[in-house]
Amino acid sequence: MSDGEHPGLLPVPRVAGPADWHGNAGTPGQWPYTRGVQPTMYTGRLWTMRQYAGFGTAEDTNRRFRLLLAAGQTGLSTAFDLPTQMGYDSDHPMAAGEVGRVGVAIDTVDDLATLFREIPLDRVSTSMTINATAGILLAMYVVVGEEQGVARTQLSGTIQNDLLKEYIARGTYIYPAEPSLRLITDIFRFVADEGMNVNPISISGYHIREAGATAVQEVAFTLANALEYCRRAIAAGLPIERFGPRLSFFFAAHNDLFEEAAKFRAARRLWARLTRERFGADDQTAKLRFHTQTGGVTLQAQQPLNNVVRVTVQALAATLGGTQSLHTNGYDEALSLPTPEAATLALRTQQILGYESGLDRTVDPLAGSYYVEHLTDRIESEARTLIEAIDAMGGAVRAVETGYYQEAIGQAAYELQKAQEDGRITVVGVNKFTSDEPAAPNAVPDYSALEIRQRASVAAARATRDRDRASATLRAIAAMAAGTGSLMPAILDAVRARATIGEISDTLRQVWGVYRP
Pairing of strands 290-294, 197-199: unpaired
Among the ranges given (32-41, 414-423, 430-439, 487-496), the one the predictor scored with the smallest mean pLDDT: 430-439
List all residues 6 or more positions away from 376 whose beta carbon is below 8 Å from its beta carbon.
Answer: 34, 262, 265, 266, 269
What is the sign of the dihedral through the CA atoms of 386, 387, 388 and 390?
Answer: positive
Beta strands in 107-185 (DSSP E): 126-129, 156-159
Assess whether pLDDT exceeds 50 at residue 235. Answer: yes
User: Mean pLDDT throughout 361-365?
Assistant: 97
Separation CA 29–CA 23 (nearest Å): 18
Nearest-10 Cα torsion for 222, 225, 230, 233: -140
**248 forms bridges with which residues in the sheet?**
202
Contacts 24+ apart (CB under 8 A), 20-23: 20/370, 20/371, 20/373, 20/374, 21/370, 21/373, 21/374, 21/377, 23/373, 23/377
Q: Which residues contact 441 (CB under 8 A, 6 or more apart)?
A: 335
CA–CA distance, 8 with 342 (Å, rounded to integer): 29
Q: pLDDT at position 325, please?
A: 97
The answer to whether residue 219 scores a pLDDT higher than 70 is: yes
Phi, psi (5° rounding) for residue 128?
-125, 120
Q: How confident is the model at residue 5 (pLDDT cuts 50, 70, 90)?
A: low
The domains located in the chain, with CATH, are 18-37+44-421 (3.20.20.240)
CA dihedral 379, 382, 386, 389 (to 10 degrees): 160
- Rg, C-alpha atoms of the chain: 22
Q: What is the pTM of this model?
A: 0.96
Q: Contact, 135 vs 185, CB < 8 A?
A: no
Q: Which candidate, 140, 487, 127, 152, places its Cα nearest to that of 327? A: 127
Quick one: which of 97, 120, 101 has its CA closest to 61?
A: 101
pLDDT category at 439 given cuts 50, 70, 90 is confident
**What is the C-alpha to C-alpha distance for residues 508 and 197, in angstroms, rounded to an integer?**
27
pLDDT reading at 114 higher than 70:
yes
Q: Is-cis flag, bond preceding 32, omega within 30?
A: yes
The pLDDT > 90 percentage for the chain reads 93
Sort strands 247-253 and 197-199 into parallel, antiparallel or unpaired. unpaired
What integer pLDDT is reported at residue 441 of this predicted model?
Answer: 72
Contacts of range 496-499, beta carbons closer than 8 Å, 24 or more positions apart: 496/109, 496/143, 497/465, 497/466, 497/469, 497/470, 497/472, 497/473, 498/108, 498/109, 498/110, 498/461, 498/462, 498/465, 498/466, 498/470, 499/108, 499/470, 499/473, 499/474
Question: Is residue 3 pLDDT above 50, yes or no?
Answer: no
Instruction: Report pLDDT digits (tens) over 149-168.
Output: 999 999 999 999 999 999 99
Judged against a pLDDT cut of 80, whether residue 515 lies above it is answered with yes
